[in-house]
């Protein structure tokens, strides 16, 4: 099959999900209408109206804290269900819920803080703790055997419950001697590590069961999911979760060739991850959270050397398989727009956070679907009139010719619900194609 034939097949999967019993004929028709609208938009075609992906903040709307949601999935689910009931004018279903505090405590995450665990109980968002979870002299180990490095270095540093894994022999030692993998279990601390995994799994299974059922309800009510999987820019894997900001900046100057060599190793891995997840979900959109590629982190020359080549290769690998990369460009990408125009026409979905959308439309219009840029600050502090006027300007700037999705930039944990209604009004008044 050609890439276009693969893409068409994946779109047909998206349009007709397997083993889904829609609530009624209207729900089925609504599902197909929404997916068709999204397919046309991401393909740079003109749909019936501008697709609208509403921002959501169900916990805040329901009046509960993140701490409560992380300790009581019934409260979290009730909040998500209330939001879904009260704001149905969206083209996708995002589900809801919160991470389970008890399960997270068991694994003793070293890279996360949440209310009651490193943060005050009234904290509204969890925090990621940056650190050098990969040491500066470990590039060769990562490059030679990423799986072994993850098992014996990354996991013990990220999850305190698995610290004993750092004492294991290289995984390749088990070839011809399988018992070399299980023999460490004679040690109580090793058994405790695997017991933590078992305990975590049991709790997460129970915790997530109602949320999975709710996701099913949304699908059966006629609302598709926009995300069929997730992959990463190879540079971001190094810069976010392995070396951290300080470490990667030093490496770009002290050992740039090692950084590039590691990116070459991580690139095909991310293509494979994206393909497997899209195949499993039967959804053609693979999401990327782009963190370190924005205007202020690195120069254009560094972007072209370290960031864009690896990300572009991952995108092209997915496009070859008929998959649509959804690139969430966090921060500002205004200065990057001239550098990201060389992907195949109508095959990529750019979700912008704080980018100049007039320039984005000028440079990417007709080449890639563009979305986003409703500021979180406006959702929280603006008036409905300000919101409606802002959305009208976005629609009139970006929607002509198709290839635009109206949605927020970065997500948020709270906002003015009347501003969400103003987004819906703007789409209905200004976003209909004639």
How far is 165 from 161, CA to CA, in rounded Å?
Answer: 9
Q: Are 211 and 95 in contact (CB under 8 A)?
A: yes
Confidence of residue 424 (pLDDT cuts 50, 70, 90): very high
- Which residue from 335, 407, 403, 404 is spatially nearest to 376, judged by alpha carbons? 407
Interacting residues of 378 by C-beta distance below 8 A, sequence separation 6+: 386, 387, 390, 419
Q: Phi, psi (5° rounding) for residue 230?
A: -145, 135
pTM confidence score: 0.96
Does the pLDDT value for residue 413 go beyond 90? no
Dig out the tokens for 232 from the structure: 């990463």
- Which residue from 396, 380, 407, 382 is spatially nearest to 429, judged by alpha carbons? 396
Mean per-residue pLDDT, 73-90? 96
How far is 277 from 165, CA to CA, in rounded Å?
Answer: 27
pLDDT at 419: 97
Does the pLDDT value for residue 96 go beyond 80? no
Dig out the tokens for 186 from the structure: 């004679």
Supply the DSSP symbol for 166: G
pLDDT at 252: 98
pLDDT at 95: 77
pLDDT at 326: 98
By percentage, how much of the chain surpasses pLDDT 90? 96
Q: 136-155, pLDDT tens digit by residue? A: 999 999 999 999 999 999 99
How far is 17 from 93, CA to CA, in rounded Å?
Answer: 14
Interacting residues of 177 by C-beta distance below 8 A, sequence separation 6+: none
Q: Are 408 and 55 in contact (CB under 8 A)?
A: yes
Give the up-direction half-sphere exposure of residue 356: CA atoms within 13 A in the CB hemisphere: 10
pLDDT at 331: 95
Q: Are 324 and 286 in contact (CB under 8 A)?
A: yes
Q: Are 90 and 54 in contact (CB under 8 A)?
A: yes
Does the pLDDT value for residue 234 go beyond 80? yes
By percentage, how much of the chain surpasses pLDDT 70? 100
Does the pLDDT value for residue 411 go beyond 90? no
Residue/partner pairs of 78-81 with CB below 8 Å, 24 or more apart: 80/211, 80/214, 81/214
**β-pairing verdict for 112-115 and 127-128:** antiparallel
Q: Phi, psi (5° rounding) for residue 112?
A: -135, 145
Q: 347-389, pLDDT tens digit by residue? A: 999 999 999 999 999 999 999 999 999 999 999 999 999 999 9
Kind and range of the H or E element at 118? strand 118-119
Q: 283-334, pLDDT tens digit by residue? A: 999 999 999 999 999 999 999 999 999 999 999 999 999 999 999 999 999 9
Average model confidence (pLDDT) for the chain?
A: 96
Q: How many other CB atoms are there within 10 angstroms of residue 355's CB atom?
A: 24
């Amino acid at each position: 099959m050609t890439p276009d034939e693969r893409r068409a097949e994946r779109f047909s999967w998206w349009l007709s999900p397997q083993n889904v019993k829609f609530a009624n004929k209207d729900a089925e028709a609504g599902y197909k209408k929404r997916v068709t609208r999204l397919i046309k938009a991401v393909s740079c075609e003109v749909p019936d109206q501008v697709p609208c992906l509403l921002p959501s903040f169900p916990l805040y709307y329901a009046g509960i804290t993140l701490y409560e949601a992380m300790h009581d999935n019934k409260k979290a689910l009730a909040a998500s269900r209330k939001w879904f009931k009260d704001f149905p004018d969206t083209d996708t279903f995002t589900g809801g819920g919160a991470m389970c505090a008890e399960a997270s405590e068991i694994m003793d995450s070293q890279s996360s803080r949440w209310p009651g665990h490193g943060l005050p109980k009234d904290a509204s968002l969890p925090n990621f703790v940056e650190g050098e979870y990969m040491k500066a002299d470990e590039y060769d180990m990562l490059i030679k055997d990423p799986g072994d490095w993850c098992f014996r270095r990354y996991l013990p540093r990220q999850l305190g419950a698995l610290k004993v894994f750092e004492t294991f022999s290289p995984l390749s030692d088990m070839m011809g001697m399988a018992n070399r993998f299980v023999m460490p279990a004679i040690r109580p601390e090793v058994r405790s590590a695997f017991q933590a995994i078992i305990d975590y799994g049991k709790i997460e299974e129970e915790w997530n069961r109602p949320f999975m059922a709710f996701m099913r309800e949304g699908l059966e009510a006629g609302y598709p999911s926009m995300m069929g999987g997730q992959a990463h820019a190879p540079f971001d894997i190094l810069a976010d979760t392995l070396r951290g900001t300080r470490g990667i900046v030093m490496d770009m100057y002290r050992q740039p060739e090692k950084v590039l060599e590691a990116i070459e190793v991580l690139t095909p891995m991310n293509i494979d991850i994206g393909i497997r997840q899209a195949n499993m979900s039967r959804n053609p959109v693979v999401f990327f959270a782009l963190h370190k590629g924005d205007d202020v982190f690195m120069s254009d020359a560094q972007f072209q050397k370290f960031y864009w080549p690896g990300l572009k290769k991952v995108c092209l690998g997915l496009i070859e398989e008929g998959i649509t990369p959804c690139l969430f460009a966090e921060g500002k990408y205004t200065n990057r727009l001239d550098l990201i125009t060389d992907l195949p026409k109508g095959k990529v979905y750019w979700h912008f956070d704080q980018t100049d959308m007039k320039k984005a439309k000028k440079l990417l219009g007709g080449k890639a679907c563009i979305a986003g840029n409703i500021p979180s600050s406006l959702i929280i502090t603006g008036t409905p009139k300000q919101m409606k006027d802002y959305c009208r300007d976005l629609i009139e700037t970006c929607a002509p010719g198709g290839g635009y999705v109206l949605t927020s930039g970065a997500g948020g944990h709270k906002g003015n619900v009347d501003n969400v209604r103003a987004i819906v009004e703007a789409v209905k008044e200004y976003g209909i194609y004639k």
